[in-house]
Amino acid sequence: TECSPPTADANVSQYACLRRTTTENHNKIFTDVLEELAENSEFNESKGPCLAFRRAASVLKSLPSAVHCLGAIQGLPCLGEHTKAVMEEILIFGRSFKVEEVQSDERYQALKLFTSVFGVGPKTAEKWYRRGLRSLKEILAEPNIQLNRMQRAGFLYYRDISKAVSKTEAKALRSIIEETAHWIAPDSILALTGGFRRGKEYGHDVDFLLTMPEMGKEEGLLLRVIDRLRDQGILLYCEHQGSTVDMSKLPSRRFEAMDHFEKCFLILRLEEGQMERDEGLAVRVDLVAPPVDRYAFALLGWTGSRQFERDLRRFARKERGMCLDNHALYDKTKKLFLPATSEEDIFAHLGLEYVEPWQRNA
Ligand code: 8DG
Ligand code: MN
Ligand code: MN
């Protein structure tokens, strides 16, 4: 068949922060497979291949149309030999044998299932797999397994929190938390972040930032909000982490490292009438409380996507000699921190055109 002209003339960047990626993905048949292969590589601790598959999927998500032949991806960045082989299978057979092999693998199935439980990471999942455990039922029936508090909540609310949260439900939660925060501090600021800020219709959780317009006034606010949510009877689970922000430190290199803001990982209950469903629903909520002078960095960092954030940091480091994380931007040449009161400021410091949140679905 005749090949459509290469997409490559669009001059697609290797950096997600130089691409615009909306939620409209024209190449889902490829990216779903590539992301599954990335996850499998992650389980096998193959960091290189994992990153390669994620980058490839991210590039394909940014394309304005579907790829119909291999010629169309010529010259695109981040598409290696493995990725091209997978894409060729899908183009010719309509399916990927490589991913089917992964999907039928017992270890992959078990690790995917175990890590779908809130509080269970790849390390714990691997440990359980090595003990011969294969199902969630088996884990709960195994007397020698000590679950921590988060994992117990993960199992207890598994049915609800493994379902996707809708935008309507996210907005209902936003109203509840905002009302609670305003009841405590009328000038407090609550912002929806994460996938819903990027315009996604569904998410695995709902992410918020909470701050005060005056520096230092945010101290103690998060704990009071949590107490109030508890009093209202909608707090099902709370893991609170105090602030460990140390501003003398340079921005961290490792993206996967958690930031140092005060935060809590919650499970909240949405009641009937607050959503489209006919029964109550347990929902995962992340609530982060940065001081206002860090707000722009926190907002940029928590809006995601993860791939967009990774590339923003990589771009800062490789192309600008700067170090970016959720707290700050540091210019290594000038040896100074670059302040910002908005996301636009940060893009400007980096010499990047502003990318709207809904264009960051890399
Ligand atoms: P989803 O919930 O719909 O699955 O998508 P998401 O909203 O994009 O993912 P997320 O896992 O909720 O993460 C939102 C952003 O927050 C993402 O860009 C990564 C960022 N993030 C941090 N620190 C941390 C952290 O400690 N844990 C998690 N889970 N995410 C973090 O900056
Ligand atoms: Mn989220
Ligand atoms: Mn989250």
CA distance 202 to 324: 28
pLDDT of 3 above 80? no
CA distance 291 to 259: 13
Q: In the predicted model, what is the mean pLDDT of the chain?
A: 94
Q: Mean pLDDT throughout 41-65?
A: 98
What ipTM was assigned to the predicted interfaces of this complex? 0.96
Each residue's pLDDT tens digit, 312-338: 999 999 999 999 999 999 999 999 999
Name the nearest CA neighbour of 290 among 191, 179, 176, 177.
191
Rounded (5°) CA angle 82-84-86:
70
Confidence of residue 271 (pLDDT cuts 50, 70, 90): confident
Give yes or no: 32 in active site: no
Of the bound ligands, which one is closest to the alpha carbon of residue 194? 1
Read off the tokens for 133.
């455990």
Q: Mean pLDDT throughout 186-197?
A: 98
Residues with a beta carbon under 5 angstroms from ion ligand 2: 194-195, 203, 205, 207
pLDDT on residue 262: 97
pLDDT of 1 above 60? no
pLDDT of 133 above 80? yes
| Range 122-143 burial, b when 16+ CB lie within 10 A, else e | eebbbebbeeebbebeebeeee
Query: Residue with the nearest Cα to atom 26 of ligand 1?
Result: 258
pLDDT on residue 7: 56
In the sheet that holds 336-337, the strands lie side by side as 322-324, 329-331, 336-337
Residue showing tokens 């939620």:
23
Give yes or no: 311 in active site: no
pLDDT on residue 255: 47
Residues 6 or more apart whose CB falls under 8 angstroms from that of 289 comprise: 209, 210, 211, 218, 221, 222, 243, 261, 262, 263
